[in-house]
């Protein structure tokens, strides 16, 4: 099979035609031999059966008078034929009256000689014919050699083989000549197309034949010329477009660098007075006199301090996003007590929890893990912050569990949920469901984007499950080690 696959199209086609012709020739020879053999055998049997009948008619008178001399004369007459091995005459008692040979070559059966009959061996035929004159008087036997029959059959077989070989050779040469016109066309086309696919230019097919083949050659060459022209134009267009994109990319990268620098600078400059404002508000709240008449002032100062903390957290997220985009955030693995760490997340989110009158449900085992606690803090705090912001008078769930080599954290809420059409966008930076300036919930849309980047840096994954009507569940899976 491998050797056949190495042949080209023309060789495989010629081999297929040759095998087909040889198979058809062998089948034809076998069929002719069977037909001729059957016909010749039937003809020969008929001839010698009639000859045995004539023999029995000639032996009638000698058998009636019981003359052995006349019987031998008749036997000698019939035995002169070169194909007759033995000629014998028997009387009604199955006694031999005369025979041209010795021994019994055929098995005699009196029941079978009452009618003309014959038997066949590998090298001879045995023919019997009864001698009847109003009653059964005896029978004659002719043993005929098959030598001449085999000789004739051999000559016929050799002649048939020679004729069929000559005929098959002529057919093969004619088909081979005709197939060359088609296979050469296909092979030339395949060669040129292969060179063209490898990037060669200027390749053209060069075959000739009938009018249709000439039309195919002209059409294919015109197509190759058109393809080369189109390819040249396309390369020029791609080159121009690539140059334009390169310029745009360089401009974009430069703009991104400037944007990151400006955002970092602005965020830093905003945090400086923000820290001062927060400090002054805390100091002022501490110095407010005790009394019911100052409860309103104390409430206003608390809300102002809460907003300062919100703004400080937003600025921290902007700076953190800039560090992640610039790939300047290193992962630091250290042993961490998981339960105390999770409880600290709840304490940090307590102010946000009370703002919308929510309450927490927390559960999970204790244990020591090796992971980045700071990244884990950002991940859980961002998810808790979102859950508290979008849920009112509801429940915020924080559950964690250890599964093989993974820490699995689930943060769920009973809020309004996330519409199905927006799930693919929730991890995009700066994206929110409501992008208008008058939106109900504030924020800059960086929390989930930062969360996903931290999860990926820890080698984990994050999934969201929400029916878009009631509640959202975030599931985080992070690999960990215990040593």
Q: What is the pLDDT along the chain (483 residues), one digit of tens a residue?
A: 456 666 666 677 777 877 887 888 788 878 877 888 888 888 888 888 888 888 888 888 888 888 888 888 888 888 888 888 888 888 888 888 888 877 665 655 545 555 455 566 667 888 888 888 888 888 888 888 888 888 888 888 888 788 888 887 887 787 777 666 667 777 777 777 777 777 777 778 777 767 777 787 788 888 888 888 887 888 888 888 888 888 877 776 665 555 556 556 655 566 666 666 766 666 666 666 666 666 677 677 666 766 666 666 666 666 665 666 666 667 788 888 888 888 888 877 777 777 778 888 889 898 888 888 888 888 888 888 888 888 888 888 999 998 878 889 999 988 888 877 777 777 777 666 554 444 455 455 677 888 888 888 888 998 888 765 678 889 999 888 766
Class of domain 2-169: alpha beta
CA torsion through residues 415, 421, 427, 431, sign? negative
The neighbour count for residue 400, using CB atoms within 10 Å, is: 20
DSSP 8-state assignment for residue 199: T
Q: So what's the pLDDT on residue 278?
A: 65
Task: Order across the sheet with 461-466: list the strands.
Answer: 359-363, 395-403, 406-413, 472-479, 461-466
CA-to-CA separations, 444 to 6, 97, 259, 313, 436, in angstroms, rounded: 66, 134, 16, 11, 12
Q: So what's the pLDDT on residue 436?
A: 46
For residue 179, give both structure tokens. 């197939």
Report the CATH architecture of 331-479.
2-Layer Sandwich (3.30)
Domain with CATH 3.30.565.10 in the chain: 331-479
CB 81 within 8 A of CB 52: no
Orientation of helix 68-79 relative to helix 9-58, angle to 10°: 160
pTM given for the model: 0.41
Q: How far is CA 424 from the centre of its chain?
A: 31
CB 118 within 8 A of CB 127: yes
Domain with CATH 3.30.450.20 in the chain: 2-169
Long-range contacts of 129-135 (CB under 8 A, 24+ apart): 129/49, 129/52, 129/53, 129/55, 129/56, 130/56, 131/56, 131/59, 131/60, 131/63, 131/89, 133/60, 133/64
Q: So what's the pLDDT on residue 438?
A: 43
**Strands, DSSP E only, in 136-245?**
136-145
Q: So what's the pLDDT on residue 233?
A: 84
């Amino acid at each position: 099979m491998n050797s056949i696959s190495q042949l080209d199209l023309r060789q495989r086609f010629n081999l297929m035609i040759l095998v087909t012709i040889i198979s058809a020739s062998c089948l034809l020879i076998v069929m002719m031999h069977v037909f001729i053999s059957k016909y010749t055998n039937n003809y020969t049997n008929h001839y010698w059966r009639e000859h045995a009948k004539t023999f029995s008619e000639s032996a009638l008178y000698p058998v009636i008078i019981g003359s052995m001399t006349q019987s031998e004369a008749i036997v000698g007459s019939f035995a002169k034929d070169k194909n007759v091995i033995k000629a014998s005459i028997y009387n009604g008692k199955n006694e031999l009256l005369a025979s041209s040979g010795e021994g019994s070559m055929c098995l005699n059966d009196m029941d079978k000689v009452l009618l003309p009959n014959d038997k066949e061996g590998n090298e001879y035929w045995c023919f019997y014919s009864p001698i009847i004159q109003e009653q059964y008087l005896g029978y004659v036997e002719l043993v005929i050699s098959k030598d001449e029959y085999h000789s004739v059959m051999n000559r016929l077989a050799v002649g048939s083989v020679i004729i069929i070989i000559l005929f098959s050779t002529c057919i093969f040469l004619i088909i081979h000549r005709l197939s060359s016109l088609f296979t050469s066309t296909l092979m030339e086309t395949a060669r040129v197309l292969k060179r063209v696919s490898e990037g060669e230019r200027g390749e053209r097919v060069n075959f000739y034949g009938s009018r249709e083949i000439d039309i195919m050659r002209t059409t294919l060459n015109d197509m190759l010329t058109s393809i080369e022209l189109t390819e040249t134009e396309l390369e020029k267009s791609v080159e121009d477009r690539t140059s334009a994109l390169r310029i745009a990319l360089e401009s974009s990268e430069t703009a991104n660098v400037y944007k990151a620098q400006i955002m970092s600078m602005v965020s830093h400059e905003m945090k400086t007075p923000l820290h001062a404002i927060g400090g002054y508000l805390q100091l002022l709240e501490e110095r407010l006199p005790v009394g019911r008449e100052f409860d309103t002032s104390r409430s206003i100062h608390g809300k102002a301090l809460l907003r300062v903390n919100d703004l400080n957290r937003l600025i921290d997220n902007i700076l953190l996003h800039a560090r992640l985009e610039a790939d300047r955030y290193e992962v630091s693995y250290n042993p961490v007590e998981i339960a105390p760490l999770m409880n600290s997340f709840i304490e940090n989110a307590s102010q946000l929890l009370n703002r919308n009158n929510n309450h927490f449900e927390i559960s999970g085992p204790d244990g020591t893990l090796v992971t980045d606690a700071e990244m884990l803090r950002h991940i859980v705090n961002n998810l808790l912050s979102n859950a508290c912001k979008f849920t009112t008078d509801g429940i915020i769930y924080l559950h964690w569990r250890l599964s093989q080599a993974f820490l699995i954290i689930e943060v769920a809420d009973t809020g309004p949920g996330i519409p199905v059409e927006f799930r693919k966008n929730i991890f995009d930076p700066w994206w929110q469901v409501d992008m208008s300036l008058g939106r109900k919930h504030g924020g800059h849309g960086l929390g989930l984007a930062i969360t996903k980047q931290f999860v990926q840096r820890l080698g984990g994954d994050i999934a969201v499950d929400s029916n878009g009507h009631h509640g959202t569940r975030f599931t985080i899976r992070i690999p960990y080690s215990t040593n």
